[in-house]
């Protein structure tokens, strides 16, 4: 009896091709075949580069980036690796709680499914994104632990900054108000009439089907952010009474003023904390640059010039 071997041969070929493809993908994801840079004995793979680019919102294909952008991303990855190596030496670690907390902060209020779909559209899956976030957080934590003890801001620096930048601490006249914009005068007049009869502004607006801005919360409105005539009318309104309607290009404005604050310059005592944080950040940024250069000078750094030109990694270093 003669057996037809063609179907079996075709199946074997298909399995062989599928297995080879799977191995190639695995090699690429592990970074074992395509290298783009290295710090001492630790290499950066093409896959890792594409993962970082996707995390930054640049897409997951190095070839699609111009040479300058490829270099900028790779420089950042090298700097990150230098700091992560230092973190390992110092025993700095990131806890799951720290990572979970930052992840929750980033997509607070966002739909989880939509968030993950957005990541896939950028060319990365959820675990890749979380790994990238963890590395970035560990870098920040290491910088803080190493450099923050070296930073001090004394009172004389705070006073000098305050005196030189008083314009940053001036506050214009402000009013705390509920502010609604209606599409026509008839609706605006009706809202004011209801308020004159004692009905709550938000309750009246809701009954009339008027959309509430800021979820119905009052906002502090400062001078310099409204058209001149409208600003003059709004700031002339008396607290505790309806004002309007005032016409502008946006529609008809009805306002309920709750409180007024005069223009003022924030006292040094109130501004000091903000100034100290700003000066400390400036000093930390400057120290980070110097510290990075010091760490890089102690490392042997290799970058694949072919990758910078073409976006394609090398199998050799």
Q: What percent of the chain has a predicted confidence (pLDDT) above 90? A: 56
Q: What is the pLDDT of residues 112-145, one digit of tens each?
A: 788 888 778 878 888 889 999 999 999 999 999 9
Q: What percent of the chain has a predicted confidence (pLDDT) above 70? A: 87
Q: What is the pLDDT of residues 42-75, one digit of tens each?
A: 999 999 999 999 999 898 899 999 999 999 999 9
**Where do the CATH 3.10.50.40 domains begin and end in the chain?**
173-262
Class of 24-165+267-317 in CATH: mainly alpha
Burial grade of 191 (CB within 10 A; 0-12, 13-18, 19 or more): buried
- Confidence band of 315 (pLDDT split at 50, 70, 90): low
Mean local confidence (pLDDT), 274-292: 95
Could you tell me the sign of the dihedral formed by the alpha carbons of 50, 53, 57, 62, in that order? negative
**Where do the CATH 1.10.4030.10 domains begin and end in the chain?**
24-165+267-317
Helices (H), the chain: 6-30, 46-55, 67-90, 96-106, 112-121, 126-147, 155-164, 185-196, 201-207, 228-236, 268-297, 305-310
Mean local confidence (pLDDT), 182-188: 92
Computed over every residue of the chain, the mean pLDDT equals 85
What pLDDT score was predicted for residue 33?
A: 65
At residue 262, does pLDDT exceed 50? yes
- Confidence band of 2 (pLDDT split at 50, 70, 90): very low
What pLDDT score was predicted for residue 214?
A: 67
Q: What is the CATH number of domain 173-262?
A: 3.10.50.40
């Amino acid at each position: 009896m003669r057996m037809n071997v063609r179907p079996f041969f075709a199946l074997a070929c298909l399995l062989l091709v599928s297995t080879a493809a799977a191995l190639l993908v695995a090699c690429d994801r592990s970074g074992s075949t395509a290298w783009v840079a290295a710090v001492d004995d630790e290499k950066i793979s093409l896959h890792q580069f594409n993962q970082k680019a996707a995390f930054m919102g640049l897409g997951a294909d190095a070839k699609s980036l111009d040479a300058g952008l490829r270099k900028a991303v790779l420089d950042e990855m090298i700097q990150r690796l230098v700091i992560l190596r230092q973190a390992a030496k110092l025993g700095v670690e990131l806890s799951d709680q720290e990572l979970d907390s930052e992840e929750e902060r980033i997509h607070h209020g966002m739909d989880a499914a939509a968030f993950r779909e957005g990541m896939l559209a950028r060319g990365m899956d959820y675990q890749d994104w979380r790994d990238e976030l963890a590395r970035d957080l560990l870098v920040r934590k290491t910088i803080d632990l190493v450099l923050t003890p070296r930073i001090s801001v004394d009172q004389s620096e705070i006073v000098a900054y305050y005196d030189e930048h008083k314009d940053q601490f001036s506050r214009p006249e402000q009013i705390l108000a509920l502010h609604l914009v209606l599409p026509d005068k008839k609706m605006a007049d009706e809202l004011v009439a209801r308020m004159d009869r004692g009905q709550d502004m938000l309750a009246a607006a809701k009954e009339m089907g008027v959309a509430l801005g800021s979820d119905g919360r009052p906002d502090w409105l400062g001078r310099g952010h409204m058209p001149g005539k409208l600003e003059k009318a709004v700031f002339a309104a008396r607290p505790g009474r309806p004002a309007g309607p005032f016409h502008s290009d946006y529609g008809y404005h009805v306002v309920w003023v709750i409180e007024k604050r005069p223009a003022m310059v924030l006292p040094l005592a109130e501004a000091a904390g903000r100034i100290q944080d700003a000066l400390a950040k400036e000093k930390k940024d400057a120290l980070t640059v110097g510290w990075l250069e010091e760490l890089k000078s102690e490392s042997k750094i290799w970058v694949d010039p072919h990758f910078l030109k073409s976006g394609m990694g090398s199998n050799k270093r």
